[in-house]
């Protein structure tokens, strides 16, 4: 399960109140890494202290996504003060992504890595990883090395490549896969056994 924002513990009413305060401060509702990230972080941090929540990168992403996907609804709530609209608030959930990236040093080696990453939007994964690297919370070598070609090892630069969402495997998913693998004859025999069992209950 992907790590989720600490603010998910709050009620919808509290989340909407925070959204209002953030919007009033100029908090960006799109990709938080395209603008002044520190301003977004500081704005949320100032509000979070009232809830005794320590702000993380995931929390900044959470509110950027929350405000973005509920833009019209929030505008309507702020205008009408209609509390019945609170239940329509769509709460974003972070997903896990597999990220492939490379590190290389002036034509002497290329290392191929992959890692899993949690984000609220696929398009934000690379920026979130860069931010975490700059903050010292993630290192390029934290990922799994899948291949390497090198002579002398001295990192010169790096590049992010493909990002793919990792599907959460649930018991229901596994059951569906089992059913999908059965042919018609087997399914009919199984249905007969189930019907017979139900008649005897």
31-44 pLDDT, tens digit each: 989 888 999 999 99
CA distances from 44 to 11, 50, 94, 104, 117 (A): 17, 11, 18, 36, 22
Q: Three-class SS of residue 158?
A: strand
Burial of 171 (0-12, 13-18, 19+ CB in 10 A): exposed
The rounded mean pLDDT for the chain is 87
Average pLDDT over residues 69-80: 95
Average pLDDT over residues 169-197: 71
DSSP state of 139: -
- Write the pLDDT tens digit of every residue in 60-70: 999 999 999 99
Residue 73's pLDDT is what? Answer: 95
How many CB atoms are closer than 10 A to CB 40?
A: 23
How many CB atoms are closer than 10 A to CB 104?
A: 18
Report the C-alpha gap between 166 and 150 in whole angstroms. Answer: 30
Q: Tokens 């919007």 label which residue?
A: 23
Residue 194's pLDDT is what? Answer: 80
Please enumerate, as own/partner, the contacts of 132-140 that have beta carbons within 8 Å and a separation of 24 or more: 132/57, 135/57, 137/57, 140/101, 140/103, 140/113
Whole-structure pTM value: 0.68
* The pLDDT of residue 131 is above 90: yes
Average pLDDT over residues 88-95: 94
Q: Three-class SS of residue 7?
A: helix
Instruction: Name the least confident of 46-50, 71-75, 165-169.
Output: 165-169
Which of the listed ranges 27-31, 78-82, 172-176 does the model predict with the highest average pLDDT? 78-82
Crossing angle of helices 71-80 and 12-24, in 10° steps, is 90
Beta bridge partners of 144: 114
């Amino acid at each position: 399960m992907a790590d989720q924002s600490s603010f998910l513990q709050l009620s919808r009413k509290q989340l909407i109140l925070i959204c209002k305060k953030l919007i009033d401060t100029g908090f960006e509702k799109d990709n938080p890494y395209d603008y002044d990230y520190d301003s977004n972080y500081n704005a949320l941090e100032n509000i979070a202290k009232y809830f005794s929540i320590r702000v993380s990168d995931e929390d900044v992403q959470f509110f950027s996504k929350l405000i973005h996907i509920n833009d019209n609804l929030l505008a309507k709530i702020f205008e009408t003060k209609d509390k019945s609209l609170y239940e329509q608030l769509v709460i974003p959930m972070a997903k896990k992504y597999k990220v492939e990236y490379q590190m290389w040093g002036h034509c002497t080696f290329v290392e191929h890595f992959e890692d899993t990453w949690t984000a609220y939007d696929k398009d934000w994964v690379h920026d979130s990883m860069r931010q975490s690297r700059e903050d010292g919370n993630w290192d390029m070598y934290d990922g799994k090395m899948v291949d390497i070609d090198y002579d002398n090892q001295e990192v010169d630069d790096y590049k992010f490549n493909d990002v793919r969402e990792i599907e959460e495997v649930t018991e229901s998913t596994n059951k569906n896969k089992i059913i999908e693998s059965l042919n018609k004859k087997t399914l009919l025999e199984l249905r007969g056994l189930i019907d017979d069992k139900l008649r005897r209950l």
